[in-house]
C-alpha cells in the first residue's frame, strides 16, 4: 500500500514518528517520507540515522497552514502525530496547547484537502476519552475535527480517521525512561502516585503497526482502538527494581486512577472486531460511507453491548511483570 507513495508525518521526529519511519523503510519502498516538525536539531539527529534517498526533512509548525500545505504537495498519505502532549505543560500554557492540538489539527485537514491527499490518520490518546485535563480535551476536539472532516470532504477524495491508544512504552517523557533514570541515578525509592493506578500498555512498534493497518481498514470517520493489555504501575516499578521501596506521592492534577478508551456513552456507536474496536461517527455523513460494521477489508464487526466501556481497570487482558520486562527489553527508546 505504501510502495511508491509519498507519506508525510507531522511530528515525524518524535517517538512515534521515528519508529513509523523505521518500520516503513523496513517493509515498503515509499517514494518519499516527509518529516514535518519544528526543531532543526531533532531533524538533524534523525537525518543522521534515517538518510535513505526517499527521506525529506521539512521544518514547519502545524500552526502554519501555508507551510503545511507546501509540504503536502504530491502527498498520498498523512500521519498526524505532532502534538503538545505533556499534561502539566498544557495546564500551565492552555492556549499554546489549543493552538497546536486543535488549530494544528484543522490546518492539517485543510492542507490535506488543498493537496487532495488520499488518506490521513490522526493519533489520539486514551486521555481524550472523558477528559479531565486540557491535553485530553484538546485531543478530543482534534478527534471530532478529523471525524467531521469526512463530511466536509463530500466529493473530495480525502478520508480521515483517528487511531486512539494508551501509554506507549519507552516514549519520550514516559514512565519507563523516568523510572530507569531514577534507578540509574541510585534512587532509594520509586515515586508512585497511587497504588491502585492502572494504565493501558502498548509498544511503539505495535502502535505503529496498528496505525499502518488502519490505513487499509478505514472508510473514514472511525476512531480505531486496539485491544491491548493493562498493567498496574506498582507492577511496573517492581519489575524494574524489585528491591526498591515505593514512595506514595499522591495523584497529580489532571491525572486519572484508570484510563479509559471507550466510554459507556459511546457504546451504541462501537463495533468490536478481532483485535480492535471502532467507534463510528456520532454524525451521519451526507455523501460518504455510513456502514461501519464492516471495514474496508470486508471484515465484519459486531456491536458491543449497550453500556460497554473499555478502561484500563476493566480490561480482561493484563501483562505480568515477566511480560513487562520482556517488552521493555525489546523496546528501543527514542
Ligand atoms: N507517547 C504516548 O504515550 C502516547 C500515547 C497515546 C497517544 N500519543 C499521541 O501520539 C502522538 C505522537 O506522540 P510521541 O510520543 O511521538 O510524541 P513526541 O515524542 O513528544 O513527539 C512529538 C512530535 O511533534 C512535534 N511537534 C510538536 N509540536 C509541533 C508543532 N507545533 N508543529 C510541528 N511539529 C510539532 C515534535 O517536534 P518539534 O518539537 O521539533 O516540533 C515531535 O516531532 C501524539 O499525537 C500523542 O498525543 C502518544
Which band of pLDDT confidence, cut at 50, 70 and 90, is reported for residue 35? Answer: very high
What pLDDT, on a 0 to 100 scale, did the predictor assign at position 322? 87
**How far is residue 167's CA from residue 169's CA, in Å, rounded to a whole number?**
6
- In terms of Cβ atoms closer than 10 Å to its own Cβ (0-12, 13-18, 19+), residue 284 is exposed
User: Which percentage of the chain shows pLDDT scores above 70?
Assistant: 98
Q: Is 302 a catalytic residue?
A: no
pLDDT digits 0-9 by tens, 176-215:
889 999 999 999 999 999 999 999 999 899 999 999 999 9
Radius of gyration of the chain (CA): 20
Take residue 164 and report the three cell numbers written for it.
486512539
Instruction: Locate 66 and state its grid cell.
Output: 501555508
**Residue 34, CA distances (Å) to 22, 63, 83, 309 in order:** 13, 17, 17, 37
Strands 55-59 and 32-37: parallel
Locate 64 and state its grid cell: 502554519
Ligand 1 in reach of 64 Cβ (< 6 A): no
Domains and CATH numbers, the chain: 6-329 (3.40.50.720)
Q: What is the pLDDT of residues 75-85, one digit of tens each?
A: 999 999 999 99
- pLDDT, tens digit, for every residue of 247-292? 999 988 888 999 999 999 999 999 999 999 999 999 998 877 789 9
pLDDT confidence of 334, banded at 50, 70, 90?
A: low
Distance of CA 218 to the CA centre of its chain: 16
pTM of the shown model: 0.94
Q: Which strand (E) or helix (H) includes residue 302? A: strand 302-303
Q: Which of 10, 11, 81, 204 to mutate to test the pocket of ligand 1 (most atoms within 8 A of CB)?
A: 11
User: CA 80, CA 33: separation in Å to the nearest integer?
Assistant: 13
**For ligand 1, atom 41, which residue shows the shortest CA distance?**
38
Looking from the CA of residue 82, the nearest atom of ligand 1 is 24
Q: What is the pLDDT of residues 59-113, one digit of tens each?
A: 999 999 999 999 999 999 999 999 999 999 999 999 999 999 999 999 999 999 9
Q: Is the CB of 99 under 6 A from ligand 1?
A: no
**Is the alpha carbon torsion for 105, 108, 112, 113 positive or negative?**
positive
Q: Give the nearest ligand 1 atom to 39 CA.
A: 40
> Which of 127, 144, 232, 256 is an active site residue?
127
Amino acid at each position: 500500500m505504501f510502495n511508491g507513495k509519498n507519506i508525510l508525518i507531522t511530528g515525524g521526529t518524535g517517538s512515534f514518528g521515528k519508529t513509523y519511519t523505521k518500520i516503513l523503510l523496513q517493509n515498503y519502498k515509499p517514494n518519499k517520507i516527509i518529516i514535518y516538525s519544528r526543531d532543526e536539531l531533532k531533524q538533524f539527529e534523525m537525518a543522521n540515522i534515517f538518510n535513505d534517498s526517499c527521506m525529506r526533512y521539512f521544518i514547519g509548525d502545524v500552526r502554519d497552514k501555508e507551510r503545511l500545505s507546501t509540504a503536502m504537495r504530491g502527498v498520498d498519505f498523512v500521519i498526524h502525530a505532532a502534538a503538545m502532549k505533556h499534561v502539566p505543560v498544557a495546564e500551565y500554557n492552555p492556549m499554546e496547547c489549543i493552538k497546536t492540538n486543535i488549530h494544528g489539527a484543522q490546518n492539517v485537514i485543510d492542507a490535506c484537502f488543498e493537496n487532495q491527499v488520499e488518506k490521513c490518520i490522526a493519533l489520539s490518546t486514551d486521555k481524550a476519552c472523558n477528559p479531565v485535563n486540557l491535553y485530553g480535551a484538546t485531543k478530543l476536539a482534534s478527534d471530532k475535527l478529523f471525524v467531521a472532516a469526512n463530511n466536509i470532504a463530500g466529493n473530495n477524495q480525502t478520508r480521515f480517521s483517528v487511531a486512539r491508544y494508551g501509554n506507549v512504552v519507552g516514549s519520550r517523557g514516559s514512565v519507563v525512561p523516568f523510572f530507569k533514570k531514577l534507578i540509574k541515578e541510585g534512587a532509594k525509592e520509586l515515586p508512585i502516585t497511587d497504588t491502585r493506578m492502572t494504565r493501558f500498555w502498548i509498544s511503539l512498534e505495535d502502535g505503529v503497526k496498528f496505525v499502518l493497518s488502519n490505513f487499509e481498514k478505514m472508510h473514514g470517520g472511525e476512531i480505531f482502538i486496539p485491544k491491548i493489555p493493562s498493567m498496574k504501575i506498582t507492577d511496573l516499578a517492581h519489575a524494574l527494581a524489585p528491591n526498591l521501596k515505593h514512595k506514595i506521592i499522591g495523584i497529580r492534577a489532571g491525572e486519572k486512577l484508570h484510563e479509559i478508551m471507550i466510554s459507556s456513552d459511546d457504546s451504541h456507536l462501537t463495533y468490536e472486531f478481532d483485535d480492535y474496536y471502532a467507534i463510528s461517527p456520532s454524525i451521519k455523513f451526507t455523501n460518504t460511507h455510513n456502514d461501519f460494521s464492516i471495514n474496508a477489508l470486508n471484515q465484519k464487526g459486531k456491536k458491543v453491548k449497550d453500556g460497554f466501556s473499555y478502561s484500563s481497570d476493566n480490561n480482561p487482558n493484563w501483562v505480568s511483570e515477566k511480560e513487562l520486562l520482556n517488552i521493555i527489553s525489546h523496546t528501543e527508546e527514542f
